[in-house]
Amino acid sequence: MLLQRVRVDPAREGLSDVRVDGDRVTEISAPGERLSAAGEDVVDGAGGVLLPGFVDAHVHMAQWSMARSRIDVGDATSAVDVVDLLVASGERSAVRAHGYRAALWSTPPHKDMLEAALPGVHVAVTSMDLHSVWLSPSLMDALGVVHPTGYLRDHDAIAMLAVLDARVDDAEVDRQVLDGADELARRGITEILDFEYDDNWSSWARRAARRLPAVRVTASTWSTWLEHCVAAGRRTGEPVPDTAGTVRMGPLKIMADGSLNTRTACCHDPYPDDGAGGESHGLLLVDEPELVRLMTVAASGSIASAVHAIGDRANTVVLDAVAAVRARMRTGELPTVGARIEHAQQVRPADLARFAELGVVASVQPQHAMSDRDVVDVLWAGRASRAYPYRSLQRQGVTLQFGSDAPVSPPDPRAAVADAVHRTDDDRPPWEPDEALPLSAALRSACGGRDAVTVGSAADLTVLAQWPHLLSNADLRSVPVLATISGGRVTHLSA
Ligand SMILES: [Zn+2]
């Protein structure tokens, strides 16, 4: 394939042509010079700017794809507000809604509120962070769920999401997920790391048999399927058969703590008193010995680990566990595999350098910093630890990878880069501006660690209408994506 008329070097005038053979870039002309097509397909880059492909390193693909068709309650400011939105939607059969943020609400969600407004209706509402689910009494009856409030959190919520999803048949989920992947390509995304709570290897193999997804997929697994994965020899990085190299095995996902918005992120310092008592430091969902055990089982099968840790204490515990497992890798007792911490939203100064020392990737979501800034200022006020410490991590030499955690934030790397660089997504001044990243570092973090497209690069390419360094905060968020190429396939071309 020949990608014609793109800009490859901000320091030089003139358009280049780029030859792609299979999944590699094999030739790039000097600016102002052309390559002749040798019988291959020709794609017009329309004078756009060539970047390494955007990678969304943390998505929940089925959740996001299905949330696209659900009632959006993201603007609700109270539980009553959510109920009003559901009633106003006019939906009366099975109501599915998504997106509330209850952290600062005075009255928590309760099943009786749903029953009073929508008697007998099956209602399930998921929070923006997927760490809570709010169910109506009739849906609870239908599912055989017994719960005092119908407001399920953390492990209970994640298990409930799996139950709810199992009620949608595979063909429908696959259709929505593959359509969702098309939408990601339109946003310039070439690759995702999917953290759906699922046997993702099998689900993506099934989807790819229907139609190849428009993004390359790294498919994580969870402890539920870990022993099966190890026994089946599914090593991290291994291509899933019959997916044309589009789907690969990813890491084991482990949850170490809860979330900020449900006050269950596990912290060294207590949360401010919410009047309800209990859980004042948040929740540690696994202790260090169990973390070490899971990571060891994974490593024994050459499976990397990706551990969700939001609060600073959870981050400390995960780093301790990684250190213990790393020691056994160094002696050759275990295969050497990678480790990631998902979110790393609050990190003690003493732990920042340990990410680098232990080679732990910080998988971060800059859009969360913006949507959480007000909650952080209340729930994490006055702490020594740093919140969303991107610049501090980068200074230590830590590899940062950007993701959206979709559906928690919209999957859009342009917004992630703008948030990381400007630390504001509205007209307020930058929040904690000392942690803002330089643009080059933000782009690298959004492009899977790659700085520029060169001969030999993977043919994962995103063509934007303009160089990001010439754009304002607002314009960077909306810069048109002219073309997307994933694994050598054209997955998006603007008309
Ligand atoms: Zn997630």
| Residue 338 and residue 306 in contact, taking contact as beta carbons nearer than 8 Å | no
Cα-to-centroid distance, 299 and ligand 1 (Å): 22
pLDDT reported for residue 403: 98
Distance (Å, whole) CA 392 – CA 390: 5
pLDDT reported for residue 129: 80
Distance (Å, whole) CA 433 – CA 399: 20
pLDDT reported for residue 226: 98
Distance (Å, whole) CA 276 – CA 7: 58
pLDDT reported for residue 17: 98
Cα-flanking dihedrals φ and ψ of residue 84, to 5°? Answer: -60, -40
pLDDT reported for residue 64: 94
Cα-to-centroid distance, 253 and ligand 1 (Å): 10
Cα-to-centroid distance, 130 and ligand 1 (Å): 8
pLDDT reported for residue 338: 98
Cα-to-centroid distance, 260 and ligand 1 (Å): 13
Cα-flanking dihedrals φ and ψ of residue 287, to 5°? Answer: -90, 175
Distance (Å, whole) CA 53 – CA 190: 5
Cα-to-centroid distance, 59 and ligand 1 (Å): 6
Please state whether 233 falls in left (phi above 0), alpha (psi between -120 and 50) or beta.
left
Cα-to-centroid distance, 255 and ligand 1 (Å): 9
pLDDT tens string 104-160: 898 999 999 999 999 999 999 999 888 899 999 999 999 999 999 999 998 899 899
pLDDT reported for residue 176: 96
Cα-to-centroid distance, 230 and ligand 1 (Å): 23
Cα-to-centroid distance, 401 and ligand 1 (Å): 14
Cα-to-centroid distance, 212 and ligand 1 (Å): 24
| Residues with pLDDT less than 50, the chain | none
pLDDT tens string 371-401: 999 999 989 988 888 999 999 999 999 999 9
Cα-to-centroid distance, 70 and ligand 1 (Å): 19
Cα-to-centroid distance, 148 and ligand 1 (Å): 27
Topology of the domain covering 1-51+452-495:
Urease, subunit C; domain 1 (2.30.40)
Please count the other Cβ atoms lying within 10 Å of the Cβ belonging to residue 342: 29
Cα-flanking dihedrals φ and ψ of residue 370, to 5°? Answer: -75, -45
Cα-to-centroid distance, 264 and ligand 1 (Å): 15
Cα-to-centroid distance, 60 and ligand 1 (Å): 6
Cα-to-centroid distance, 405 and ligand 1 (Å): 5
Please state whether 144 falls in left (phi above 0), alpha (psi between -120 and 50) or beta.
left
Q: Which two tokens stand for residue 33?
A: 């010079």
Whether the bond into 407 is cis, omega within 30 of 0: yes
Q: Residue ranges of the domains in the chain?
A: 1-51+452-495, 68-166
Distance (Å, whole) CA 363 – CA 433: 20
Cα-to-centroid distance, 129 and ligand 1 (Å): 8
| Burial label, 375 (beta-carbon count in 10 A; 0-12, 13-18, 19+) | middle
Cα-to-centroid distance, 365 and ligand 1 (Å): 10
1-51+452-495 against 68-166: fold identical: no
Cα-to-centroid distance, 368 and ligand 1 (Å): 11
Cα-to-centroid distance, 162 and ligand 1 (Å): 14
Cα-to-centroid distance, 214 and ligand 1 (Å): 21
Answer whether CATH 3.40.640.10 is correct for domain 68-166.
no
Cα-to-centroid distance, 222 and ligand 1 (Å): 12
DSSP-derived secondary structure for 344-369: --EE-HHHHHHHHHHTEEEEE-HHHH
